[in-house]
Amino acid sequence: MSIIKLIYKWVVYGNLWIALGAAGMTWVNSLIIFNKVNVNLLILSFLVTLGAYNFQRIRRAKELFSSDTKDKWLTKNSLVLVILLIISFVASLFFLIDIQFQKLLIFTPFLIITLLYRWPILGISLRDIPFIKILLIASCWGGVTVLLPCLYYNEDLFFPLQYIFVSALYIVGITIPFDARDLDVDTDQKKTIPQLIGLRNACFLAISLLFFCAIIFLVMNHKMMILHCFFSAFCVSFSYKKRPDWYYSFILDGLLVIMPIYYILY
């Protein structure tokens, strides 16, 4: 196994890549809303996402019967996922210790979604409830990457709903291809967007949502995010048919990682 493949598997399959994406999106929302960035905030966003995704992967590793490369890696390295989960949880507490408990309660709905998303209660997990799988993901990403900056920069926590909305809408746009990828494994009862309208129509919808995000950012006068939405739509346009896992796990998730670059260059 080449060193590049080894690094790729640990970074992508171990959810370090998507955690970097959460830090990237939090960075951008922090700049857009407050025009400043706190390093501790970015680390916390990274750790929370790393923990949440590895929590889900641990459950997935218990359910797998697939010979897929990613699934075999998860099964073989399930102990590593547990260790990463523990590390991210303990480290997150360090960054949360100075924040008032009352403020942290605002994240209770997202915590509940994380706990119940894949782990079944009363025989069913949240992701198995028809129609809502992608909405759960988008609401968590939109809420957490916007509300975390609000925790750090505001004495009185407020709800910038317009930023939560556009962030969640962007996540829906780049997540629809993942539902397309899972067409063969998702049961018909999930009623995902590609299941309901087909692969090509789902791709068109995803592109349309990203263009709509660009319009919203135009109205908000955030020009760099308009460029990012256009580039994201270009990347998503290739999802009209099934692609290799790296397209989803590295390229599409990577759109979140490179999001701050537009502001750095600007």
Average pLDDT over residues 105-116: 85
Q: Which two tokens stand for residue 249?
A: 């796990």
DSSP 104-120: HGGGHHHHHHHHHSSS-
pLDDT value of residue 73:
84
Q: Check residue 66 and give its pLDDT.
A: 54
pLDDT attached to residue 30 = 93
Judge residue 54's burial from the number of C-beta atoms within 10 Å of its C-beta, 0-12 exposed, 13-18 middle, 19 or more buried: buried
Q: Give the pLDDT score at 51.
A: 93
DSSP character at residue 204: H
pLDDT in tens, 29-87: 999 988 889 899 999 999 999 999 998 888 766 665 555 677 788 888 888 888 999 99
Question: For the residues 206-218, what does the mean pLDDT come to?
Answer: 96
How many CB atoms sit inside 10 A of residue 198's CB? Answer: 13
Per-residue confidence (pLDDT) for residue 219, from 0 to 100: 93
Structural domains for the chain:
3-265 (1.10.600)
